[in-house]
Structure 1
Amino acid sequence: MEPLQTVGSPVLWGGFIAFVIAMLALDLGVFHRKAHTVSFKEALGWSTVWISLALLFNAGLWWKFGGKPGLEFLTGYLIEKSLSVDNIFVFVVIFSAMRIPALYQHRVLFWGILSALVLRAIMIFAGVAMLERFHWLIYVFGAFLIITGLKLFVQRNKEDHPEDGWMMRMLRKSIPSTTRFDGHHFFTMENGRRLATPLLMALILVEASDILFALDSIPAIFAVTRDPFIVFTSNIFAILGLRSLFFLLAGAVEKFSYLKVGLSGVLVFVGAKMALIDFVKIHPAVSLGVIATLLGASIVASLIKAKNLPPHTPEAGGDTLVKPSES
């Protein structure tokens, strides 16, 4: 087994973490200090900013450390970005089912993703340490990804109902709550009792769903690289852009009917790559090409299918994203 190598120096780690904190403070303290409905134009602008920053960071890695780390970051970022789209499907269901006004959806996603940053950092460093000590775990991760990819394909048309799941039932029993909103607050006072509002319940479901998705996405990037700095930064850039991507794509998720087929193909591919890592060496450029082809083909096929379908009336609850009056 090759010794662990990393391009991340203490200066780079400190600089990147400082950058993340500064961007989060700018996001919440300046641009989203007041609750408002995120428009398509605003979401497009922020998506462009996050993608541009990730590509700029990628270019810096390429210039400083060469093509291999650059390709590894780009491949990892593409994997994380594509798998994060699956989160959007679940977020749409959560917000629609719990009737979260569009006015407060950004606040829920901000705190949910902030928690996700911390949890993913812990999971990444734990995963790196485990793979360094127990190399055979890489075969377990590979098999897990293959099984997950096949399961995603088989269940691609299955509808999610997190609001009726065991976790929601447990939360309602253990946390005193109300169905009444109190502005952007997660708690409210009602008849002298401190109760959780639907925003807190939605936040917990968002965090729980991200943990479940991280079980797929983090092992997936270990098939590309075990460099903790590249794993961490590609993950964080993908998560930081998730909120804007949600508001950009939330109204059009139904158009991507074949996306889960592409994602299942990505998981099976990276799982096989991980399981065969000691026997078959695949160049990072080849991995990037395969993943981009699988995702691109699924997106193109989805758009062609959506274009050929007759127009239909949006389902009930679908306007939750654009009408903040349901409170």
Structure 2
Amino acid sequence: MNIPAWVWVATLCGLALLLIFDLAIIGRRPHEPTIRESALWVAFYVGLAGLFALGIYLTSGGVYATEFVSGWVTEYSLSVDNLFVFVIIMGKFAVPRIYQQKVLMIGIILALIMRGAFIAVGAAVVSRFVWVFYLFGLFLIYTAIQLVRHKEDDDDVKENLMIRWARRVLPVSKDFDGARMTTRLNGKKFVTPMLIVMIAIGTTDLMFAVDSIPAIFGLTQEPYLVFTANVFALMGLRQLYFLLGGLLDRLVYLSLGLAVVLGFIGVKLLFHAMHENNLPFLNGGEHMSWAPDISTNLSLVVIVGVLAVATVASLIKSRGAVETPAPAAPVATEAVESEADAPGKARGATGGSSARGAIPEPNRPQ
């Protein structure tokens, strides 16, 4: 796929204009988007991705268009799963709802910059060293296993090294000052918890890129398609965060579905590496023609099918949990609780285990 320089420039300019437009909206009127507003924006970005795929089909053929759609669906699904962590981060730092748009927008910009760098390095590596696909494949399979084993661990987000360093080095105020990242208290300059939240979102995006970039290189090795699929997956993520809202808690099987997808792509990468094998200690440096070649069309069918099953199963599971009535409390026949005991009982009744995606108590930086 030969992409002229002017196409790259036009794509980057279009991306910059969208980001500037989004930032202008947030800066002019910080607010919590309504369901209707969020749905319209999500539909706009999904439609834009569809038009882009159609343009690739008309200019470069169906194979590249299918590779783009496969990569976009995979990256978009991974982004939805990442929203679970964003919800927990927002709750942990008690970010006011009207300022969460700004946090997400800055996070998206940081993600685009970091993924752009990752893609540039990844494209240079895969074009020269075929054996790197073995590493990518094994890493994705390992990630899939970890998702299955620790699918409930994302109910808590531990502070990473960067956040702990920022807390230790920077003077952090106790309270937010609007959407500002710095403030003055008694004539002294402080950074606000907003900056710590930005660091948390940015470093989280970096960890997400480590998973997602090898995954999309398993579907296409075209740098332009890898980059644009990531762009369209991230654009609109801010509005999707507000659109899904409580629905995130109901996608209980999404992580398992993504584990299957990542495992599938990992196996596909291993087979691809075997076909292109050039390692002397593996099969004498000869191509392993016995390894099956998984086509892009089959990959798209598997990815969409698995994610659809995971989504439907999640909604059925969560609907059953909501509709199932709670067992009736036993009726006391021999004794009547004293008024002093009642408050303790009431507190115990609400102190059960939390559902997946529940937000921990706010832990504001001191």
TM-score by length of 2: 0.82
1:170 deviates by 2.5
Residue 244 of structure 2 corresponds to residue 249 of structure 1? yes
Give the aligned partner of residue 181 of structure 1: 176
Structure 1 residues 32, 45: closer, same or farther in 2, change over 3 A?
farther
Give the aligned partner of residue 262 of structure 1: 257
The alignment partner of 2:190 has SS state of strand
Residue 121 of structure 2 corresponds to residue 109 of structure 1? no
Which string of whole-angstrom CA distances, capped at 9 and with x for unpartnered residues, describes residues 189-227 of structure 1? 122222121111111111111110111111001111110
1:8 deviates by 2.0
Give the aligned partner of residue 72 of structure 2: 77
Q: Distance in 1 between matches of 2:180 and 2:33?
A: 18
Q: Distance in 1 between matches of 2:358 and 2:261?
A: 29
Contact 2:162 2:199 in 1 (8 A): no
Give the aligned partner of residue 215 of structure 1: 210
The alignment partner of 2:94 has SS state of coil
Query: Identity percentage over the alignment?
Result: 38
Aligned residue type for 1:256: L
Give the aligned partner of residue 154 of structure 1: 149
2:114 paired residue among 105, 113, 119? 119
Give the aligned partner of residue 3 of structure 1: none
1:164 deviates by 4.3
Contact 1:98 1:163 in 2 (8 A): no
Contact 1:7 1:65 in 2 (8 A): no
Contact 1:162 1:205 in 2 (8 A): no
Residue 279 of structure 2 corresponds to residue 284 of structure 1? no
The alignment partner of 1:194 has SS state of strand
Give the aligned partner of residue 8 of structure 2: 13
Aligned residue type for 1:20: L
Q: Distance in 2 between matches of 1:131 and 1:261?
A: 28
TM-score by length of 1: 0.91
Residue 29 of structure 2 corresponds to residue 34 of structure 1? yes
1:297 paired residue among 309, 318, 321? 309
1:238 deviates by 0.4
Q: Distance in 1 between matches of 2:198 and 2:190?
A: 15
1:9 deviates by 1.6
Aligned residue type for 2:211: D
Q: Distance in 2 between matches of 1:275 and 1:123?
A: 21
Name the Cα RMSD after superposition: 2.1
The alignment partner of 2:184 has SS state of strand
1:11 deviates by 1.8
Q: Distance in 2 between matches of 1:79 and 1:159?
A: 20
Stretches of structure 2 that go unaligned for 5 or more consecutive residues are 276-290, 327-349, 361-366
Which string of whole-angstrom CA distances, capped at 9 and with x for unpartnered residues, describes residues 127-157 of structure 1? 0101112211111011000000110111012
Q: Distance in 2 between matches of 1:222 and 1:319?
A: 34
Q: Distance in 2 between matches of 1:191 and 1:160?
A: 38
1:15 deviates by 1.1
- Bigger shift: residues 127-136 or 94-103: 127-136
Contact 1:258 1:302 in 2 (8 A): yes
Aligned residue type for 1:102: R
Give the aligned partner of residue 320 of structure 2: 308
2:40 paired residue among 29, 45, 52? 45
Contact 1:145 1:268 in 2 (8 A): yes
Which string of whole-angstrom CA distances, capped at 9 and with x for unpartnered residues, describes residues 241-271 of structure 1? 2111111123221100000000000110001
Give the aligned partner of residue 324 of structure 1: none
1:176 deviates by 1.6
Larger radius of gyration: 2
1:119 deviates by 1.0
Contact 1:146 1:271 in 2 (8 A): yes
Q: Distance in 2 between matches of 1:247 and 1:167?
A: 27
Aligned residue type for 2:78: L
The alignment partner of 1:276 has SS state of helix
Stretches of structure 1 that go unaligned for 5 or more consecutive residues are 1-5, 321-327
Structure 1 residues 17, 159: closer, same or farther in 2, change over 3 A?
closer
Q: How many residues get paired?
A: 315
1:39 deviates by 1.6
Aligned residue type for 2:320: N
Contact 1:188 1:194 in 2 (8 A): yes
